[in-house]
Amino acid sequence: MTAPFRSHRLVGYDRFTGRVVDEYVLPEERLPEAKRLAHVPDDDPDVTLCYSLGSAARDLAGFIGARIRPGCDYFLEGFAP
């Protein structure tokens, strides 16, 4: 069994280079909204995979006070300790 994820992040990747250009720690109290926006399935309660946010990235960014960049793709990602 893998270790549970301890933090989750909103991560933005440049569409052309694939490089990380933004990374925001997601407060745990915002995880339920993030999971809903990213359509995380019930069989991944710890968000062990990466989930594309598409246009929902703006909503999640608003929940955490982050700014997103045009030309980037944003994902909800879990990080192990």
Sequence-distant (6+) residues with CB within 8 A of 2 are 48, 80
pLDDT reported for residue 17: 95
pLDDT reported for residue 56: 95
Domains of the chain by range and CATH? 7-79 (3.10.50)
Q: Measure the CA dihedral 71/22/25/45, to 10°.
A: 50
Mean pLDDT by 10 residues, the chain (81 residues): 69 96 93 94 91 95 92 91 64
Q: What is the pTM of this model?
A: 0.87
pLDDT reported for residue 42: 93
